[in-house]
Amino acid sequence: MKVTSQLVTSALLLGWLQMAHAADATPLKHIKLDDLQSGNGAIVDTRPSAFYNGWPQGLNGPSGHEPRAFNLSVNWLSLMSDEQLQQWASQHQITPDRKIALYGTTEQTSEVSKRLMKLGYINIATLSDALSQPDRLQRMAHYEQLVYPQWIHDLQQGKNVVAKPAGEWKVIEAAWGAPKKYLLSHIPGAGYIDTNDIESEPLWNKVSDDKLKALLAKQGIKHDTTVILYGRDVYAAARVAQIMLYAGVKDVRLLDGGWQTWSDAGLPVERGLPSNVKPAPDFGAEIPGQPQLMLNEEQARGLLHRKDASLVSIRSWPEFIGETSGYSYIKPKGEIAGARWGHAGSDSTHMEDFHNPDGTMRSADDIAAMWKEWHITPDQQVSFYCGTGWRASETFMYARAMGWPSVSVYDGGWYEWSANPKNPVVAGERGPESSWE
């Protein structure tokens, strides 16, 4: 019995090695987009998500991705277990017998094809006419609002870049508390904002407009200053970004994936305190410039139980069904009755449902499909909330980049809502239809 088992194991190993060798040695066939689509094949873009979203590779390069293409960046492979890669394929209805066409550089497509073939996806080719017809390419509506590391570096080096800021610009790191990690290493020339300066106790809502005006002045920010924010945690930077947009800063951008993407790119860093900033004598516009981006409790209540609006909970499933409040300082458990679940992550400090393996924003199509299951659609008035505003702000920034026209943040979130005993709450397992009851 033991000998038989060893023979079977050896045979399986030999088969796997032969498949792996074939994946390494056999050149991929080529197929055109029309032929692939007529056979219901799957298209996979192996480039970094920034280029998939719409950033051109070069000033005059093609912008976007092929119609209905999925993004599986070669950069993610080292971060994905075989099980996670299988899950990715399953989520996108890619089965082992389905034709798959890859595009990107030769190295990118080669590495992705090897990994897929080793998992049994052997019907793989390269898309021969990829990115050859700019008019058919699709892109995220406002991809420029999510920048990538090399773009920032090129901007800092004075190079001509796509979607260049119209006037003055600043790079700023945002985090809670003293700049401990910032002092050790940060993007060269970056300023620093402590989130304590834009929100305050007892509910961690945004500070008053007067205090916000003073902060912006201190940072040298005017309404026409382009502000590029990043954080060790993306949602910290997003919280500051969303409040700046509310204040009236016209052009606010996020480094997609935050500090980690800069570190992974191996770009220059510096240490020490931020440079002295020349204060701005006047914001140059009335504050708030966009008050509709931040809802209060009464306005949030007005979105409940409607088909033309969604109050969206960006909280983990255990928070949504009332198993936990998610926070040590928030005692009540439960959820706003009538709210729709917009996903989040495993707990109150994670946002895996919105992230690629490298921490960048998941594709707009994936996010829109996830929301549609809970009747959250771009034609609605949509307001996001979480416990105190950070996770909600991150999804707000993504929805804004996706081109959703009427999005906001309910600033008070579950913390404020649960503090009022008159507000309706709910707990327990429930599905999308519960928000209409």
Long-range contacts of 278-282 (CB under 8 A, 24+ apart): 278/220, 279/217, 279/218, 279/220, 280/216, 280/217, 280/219, 280/220, 280/221, 280/222, 280/225, 281/217, 282/217, 282/222
pLDDT, residue 437, reads 63
158-183 pLDDT, tens digit per residue, is 999 999 999 999 999 999 999 999 99
Mean pLDDT across the stretch 249-277? 96
Check: CB of residue 54 under 8 Å from CB of residue 47.
no
The three-point CA angle 333-337-338 to 5° equals: 140
DSSP-assigned letters across all residues of 352-373: GGGB-TTSSBPPHHHHHHHHHT
| Residue 404 pLDDT > 50 | yes
Rounded to whole angstroms, the Cα distance separating 428 from 53 reads: 37
> H-helix or E-strand containing 230?
strand 226-230
Q: Over 80: is that where the pLDDT of 153 sits?
A: yes
Q: Domain coordinates of the chain in residue numbers?
A: 27-134, 141-288, 290-433
Is the pLDDT confidence value at 99 over 50?
yes
Is 5's pLDDT higher than 60?
no
The reported pLDDT for the residue numbered 92 is 97
Topology agreement, domain 141-288 and domain 290-433: yes
Q: State pLDDT tens for residues 368-389.
A: 999 999 999 999 999 999 999 9
What's the pTM?
0.93
DSSP readout, 13-76? HHHHHHHHHHHHHSPPEEE-HHHHHHTT-EEEE-S-HHHHHT--SSTTS--SB-TTPEE--GGG
pLDDT one-digit tens code per residue, 230-243? 999 999 999 999 99
Instruction: Return the pLDDT at 415.
Output: 97
Confidence of residue 228 (pLDDT cuts 50, 70, 90): very high
Describe the strand order of the beta sheet including 169-175 as a list of residue ranges.
146-147, 252-255, 226-230, 169-175, 191-194
The encoded tokens of residue 102 equal 């890859």
* 45 in Cβ contact with 72 (< 8 Å): yes
Distance of CA 218 to the CA centre of its chain: 29
Q: In angstroms, what is the C-alpha Rg of the chain?
A: 24
As a whole number of angstroms, the distance between CA 350 and CA 391 comes to 9
Distance (Å, whole) CA 343 – CA 144: 24
Instruction: Provide the 10 A C-beta neighbour count for residue 68.
Output: 11
Q: How far apart are alpha carbons 403 and 214 in whole angstroms?
A: 31
Q: Tokens 């005692």 — which residue?
A: 331
136 catalytic, yes or no? no
Q: Phi-psi region for residue 258, left (φ > 0), alpha (ψ -120 to 50) or beta? A: left
Which entry of 42, 161, 386, 402 is annotated as an active-site residue? 386
CA geometry: angle 228, 200, 277, nearest 5 deg: 40
- What is the pLDDT at residue 23? 46
Q: Is 141-288 a CATH 3.50.50.60 domain?
A: no
Neighbour tally for 429: CB within 10 Å: 9
Residue 281 has, within 13 A of its CA and on its CB side, a CA count of 0
Please tell me the distance from the alpha carbon of residue 280 to that of residue 191, in angstroms, as a whole number: 15
Tokens 């966009």 belong to: 290
CA distance 190 to 171: 5
Question: Band of the pLDDT at 436, cuts 50, 70, 90?
Answer: confident
pLDDT band at 434 (very low <50, low <70, confident <90, very high): confident
Which fold is adopted by the domain 27-134? Oxidized Rhodanese; domain 1 (3.40.250)
Instruction: Give the span between the Cα atoms of 73 and 366, in whole angstroms.
Output: 15
Share of the chain above pLDDT 90, in %: 90
Q: 390 — phi, psi (to 5°)?
A: -70, -55
pLDDT band at 435 (very low <50, low <70, confident <90, very high): confident
Instruction: Give the per-residue pLDDT at 2.
Output: 40
β 199-200/205-206 pair status: antiparallel
According to the model, what pLDDT value does residue 146 have? 98
| Element (DSSP H or E) covering residue 154 | helix 149-156
**CA-to-CA separations, 395 to 64, 74, 197, 244, 312, in angstroms, rounded:** 21, 25, 22, 15, 10
Per-residue pLDDT, averaged over 95-107, amounts to: 96
**Higher pLDDT residue, 110 or 433?**
110
The pLDDT > 70 percentage for the chain reads 94
- Confidence class for position 26, pLDDT limits 50, 70, 90: low
- CATH homologous superfamily for the domain 290-433: Rhodanese-like domain (3.40.250.10)
Predicted confidence band at 19 (pLDDT cuts at 50, 70, 90)?
very low
